[in-house]
Amino acid sequence: MNATPSHQALQPEFRLLVLLVSIGFFMQGLDTTIVNTAIPSMAVHLNEDPLNMHSVVVAYVLSVAACIPLSGWLADRFGARNIYFSAIIIFTLASLGCGQSDSLNELLFYRVLQGIGGALLLPVGRLAMLKVIPRAQFLSAMSLMSLAGLIGPLIGPTLGGWLVEVTTWHWIFLINIPMGVLGCLITFKAMPNVTEPTVPRFDFWGFFLLVIAMTGLSLGIENFTSTSHSLYWSIGLICAGVVACITYALHSHNHQNALFRSKMFRNKIYALGVLGNFFARLGGNAMPFLIPLMLQVAFGFKPFVTGLLMIPIVLGALASKPLIRPIIQRFGYRNVLLVNTLLVGACIASFALSSADTPIWLRTLHFFIFGMLNSLQFVSMNTLTLKDLPQQDASSGNSFLSMIMMVSMSIGVALAGTLVNVFSAYFDAIHLTSAFHATLICLGCINIITALIFWQIPKDTAV
């Protein structure tokens, strides 16, 4: 049967470009997840408390979030190929720096650079595909590329656990180097340097306010229990973040060339979707960091076994994909998000019932169910948020949503790390498992409360 004109098979001349973008997508997806199972081993080598190592994750995710608004403008101004090549170089050299680090501060510096490179890889690669590949073949190209995005998180935790057992944690970063070199070699052959003839001035003032807002809120929460900074320092950072948020809101309303105009939020569905995305992802995005830490530090599991136990979460997410559309069509966005938000919150809190003696089959089933529910949550929220945006706001709205998703991950991980430290001080070190359980209950409750946001979705919202 021939492909319809609206969905054609990808032609050979575009396959190399899709491979190139897939390499970047794979590197970013792998690097986001491979660190989680290696954190306790990294802490031992760097003479740090593993409960204070969440900054390794936060530094990367926060720098990705901060640079997302910059990616599209840079590609339009200087060319997609030049920016993509620069991103791979930055990411690869930063990976080398991470692999050579001997202190936490040095590692954090290179993780920030890595995040800057990672922030440019996927958006610029996707933009190049959109501009070069005919629209009829774009769906096929995106489907092929998405496989790379699934493989990275699937193998990341297990590969990270295996590497720290057979070699050292440094190799979780050094394995990026061959992929980066391959990407550099392909870039100039596969990707044309497409630019835009007219590019508006970049909103540097708005960008600065957004960076202050994201950094202040994330680092303020992260340093709340830090012994090297006073409580007033954390409160000051959080206040600076809140002030920057309010200032940007005014800026986006009055500035004609603002990165994200306030008029987008007149769309009630988009506003509710963004708000729901932020709060509903705090718990879900913290789990890939928190669960491996609990399994190793509190339960005494080996890194490789911990990585293997993370696979059911990804398999659950994959298994849910064919079910999401029929479920939403049958019950509608409002009902699905109301019920599923409560289920995700209850599932997160229910991890507090697990212990080192929990049977493997039950733990595996638990992770699989969480993966299914979390995937349904994320896909439903994303499609609801973007579905009614007018065409002229689609690009800006999608970029803002992507930034919110990464900020939520950054704050979620920072919050999880802070809560574990607070509860470990309360319960004492010998009751570390209780500290993790209390943290899981708190994160689950945040998710359950988020259902109040989705309650505001109009009952007649079309699918």
**Rounded percentage of the chain residues whose pLDDT exceeds 70:** 93
| pLDDT for 128 beyond 90 | no
pLDDT digits (tens, 9 = 90+) for 198-253: 777 888 898 999 999 999 988 888 877 776 777 888 899 999 999 999 999 898 88
| pLDDT for 415 beyond 80 | yes
Q: Chain-centre distance of CA 444, in angstroms?
A: 19
Cβ(316)–Cβ(368) below 8 Å? yes
Q: Which CATH architecture has domain 12-194?
A: Up-down Bundle (1.20)
Signed CA dihedral, 269, 271, 277, 279: sign only: negative
Domains of the chain by residue range: 12-194, 204-258, 267-463
pLDDT at position 8, please? 60
Distance, in Å, from the CA atom of 74 to the CA atom of 120, rounded to the nearest integer, reads 9
**Under 8 Å CB-to-CB from 330, ≥6 apart: which residues?**
none
Mean pLDDT of 281-297: 91
**Alpha helices per DSSP H over 167-267:** 171-174, 176-190, 204-222, 231-254
Tokens describing residue 378: 């994320």
Cβ(384)–Cβ(463) below 8 Å? no
Cβ(223)–Cβ(233) below 8 Å? yes
Cβ atoms within 10 Å of 299's Cβ, excluding its own: 16
pTM of the model: 0.86
Angle at 406 between CA 397 and CA 299, to 5 degrees: 150
| Residue 430: band (very low, low, confident or very high) from pLDDT cuts 50, 70, 90 | low
440 phi, psi to nearest 5 deg: -60, -40
Tokens describing residue 388: 């009614």
Angle at 170 between CA 312 and CA 122, to 5 degrees: 60
Nearest of 308, 287, 293 to residue 158 by alpha carbon:
308
User: Which amino acid appears at position 266 of this protein?
Assistant: R
Distance, in Å, from the CA atom of 111 to the CA atom of 126, rounded to the nearest integer, reads 23
| pLDDT for 460 beyond 90 | no
Distance, in Å, from the CA atom of 251 to the CA atom of 298, rounded to the nearest integer, reads 46
Tokens describing residue 317: 């997410």
CA atoms lying within 13 Å on the CB side of residue 461:
26
Cβ(129)–Cβ(17) below 8 Å? yes
Nearest of 93, 92, 108 to residue 59 by alpha carbon:
108
Distance, in Å, from the CA atom of 148 to the CA atom of 268, rounded to the nearest integer, reads 34
Mean pLDDT of 76-82: 84
Q: Please check whether the two domains, 12-194 and 267-463, share a CATH topology.
A: yes
Tokens 């409160």 belong to 235
Q: Which of 282-291, 334-343, 422-431 has the lowest mean pLDDT?
A: 422-431
**Alpha helices per DSSP H over 391-454:** 391-427, 432-454
Q: Which of 181-190, 341-350, 405-414 has the lowest mean pLDDT?
A: 181-190
Tokens 């769309």 belong to 267
**Under 8 Å CB-to-CB from 15, ≥6 apart: which residues?**
none
Distance, in Å, from the CA atom of 365 to the CA atom of 237, rounded to the nearest integer, reads 40
pLDDT at position 391, please? 65
Distance, in Å, from the CA atom of 93 to the CA atom of 440, rounded to the nearest integer, reads 36
CB-count exposure of residue 461 (10 Å: 0-12, 13-18, 19+): middle
pLDDT digits (tens, 9 = 90+) for 299-357: 989 999 999 999 999 899 888 888 888 888 888 889 999 999 999 999 999 999 999 99
Task: State the fold for domain 267-463.
Answer: Growth Hormone; Chain: A; (1.20.1250)
Q: Which of 31-40, 93-102, 234-243, 309-318 has the lowest mean pLDDT?
A: 31-40
Mean pLDDT of 382-407: 79
pLDDT at position 70, please? 84
Q: How far apart are the first and last CA of the chain?
A: 30
Nearest of 356, 360, 358, 362 to residue 299 by alpha carbon:
356
Q: Residues, the chain, total? A: 463
Cβ(89)–Cβ(184) below 8 Å? yes
Distance, in Å, from the CA atom of 37 to the CA atom of 3, rounded to the nearest integer, reads 43
